């Protein structure tokens, strides 16, 4: 097989050029993958920390004057069986533990605990504490 002038002068042929381009592409993709891993890990760590430090008010400040029925719905003060809201919000980690391990929220009676946990389970987007509640449901 006869070599071209470029090949005799040390210039790469078309196959070599494609191989080099392919290796470059693989290296670029590897660098992108590594950067993704480096940026996702801190985000996961930050999520774990935010679960421990976020708070869930019961009820949210906009509805603080309402009581909480045993099923977690908000009702008028004085409704039979309903309990007043908590004076302080609950830490996300305390809520996670109570929901997953069947424990009680700190400083609550059995009636309050049931009503508060049911209220928290019913939280929806736009309600104070929802983001914290959503984050405690994420797998670790």
Quote the CA–CA distance of 88 and 106 in Å, as a whole number: 10
Is it the case that residue 42 has pLDDT exceeding 70?
A: no
Q: Which two tokens stand for residue 105?
A: 């929220």
Quote the CA–CA distance of 135 and 130 in Å, as a whole number: 9
Task: Average the pLDDT over 38-59 and give the result.
Answer: 65
Is it the case that residue 140 has pLDDT exceeding 80?
A: no
Question: Are 35 and 58 members of one domain?
Answer: no
Backbone φ and ψ for 43, nearest 5 degrees, come out as: -65, -40
Quote the CA–CA distance of 99 and 1 in Å, as a whole number: 76
Is it the case that residue 56 has pLDDT exceeding 70?
A: yes
Q: Please provide the average confidence, as pLDDT, over all residues in the chain.
A: 80
Question: Are 68 and 126 members of one domain?
Answer: yes
What's the confidence (pLDDT) of residue 54?
92
What's the confidence (pLDDT) of residue 59?
94
Q: How buried is 115 (Cβ within 10 angstroms: 0-12 exposed, 13-18 middle, 19+ buried)?
A: buried
Task: Average the pLDDT over 114-134 and give the result.
Answer: 92
Question: Are 41 and 81 members of one domain?
Answer: no
For residues 85 and 66, the answer to whether their CB atoms sit within 8 Å is yes
Strands, E assignment, 19-116: 55-56, 67-68, 74-75, 83-84, 90-91
Question: Are 63 and 131 members of one domain?
Answer: yes
- Read off the DSSP letter of residue 119: H
Q: How many domains does the chain have?
A: 2
The whole-model pTM stands at 0.64
Mutual angle of helices 14-53 and 92-101, in 10-degree steps:
90
Question: Are 33 and 60 members of one domain?
Answer: no
Question: Are 90 and 123 members of one domain?
Answer: yes
């Amino acid at each position: 097989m006869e070599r071209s002038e470029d090949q005799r002068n040390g210039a790469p042929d078309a196959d070599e050029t494609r191989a080099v381009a392919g290796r470059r592409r693989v290296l670029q993709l590897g660098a992108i993958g590594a950067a993704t891993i480096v940026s996702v890990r801190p985000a996961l760590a930050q999520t774990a920390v935010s679960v421990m430090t976020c708070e869930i008010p019961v009820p949210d400040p906009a509805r603080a004057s309402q009581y909480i029925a045993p099923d977690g719905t908000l009702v008028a003060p004085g409704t039979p069986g309903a309990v007043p809201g908590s004076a302080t919000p609950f830490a996300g980690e305390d809520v996670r533990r109570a929901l997953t391990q069947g424990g009680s929220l700190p400083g609550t009676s059995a009636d309050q605990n049931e009503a508060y946990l049911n209220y928290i389970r019913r939280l929806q987007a736009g309600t104070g504490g929802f983001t914290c509640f959503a984050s405690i449901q994420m797998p670790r």
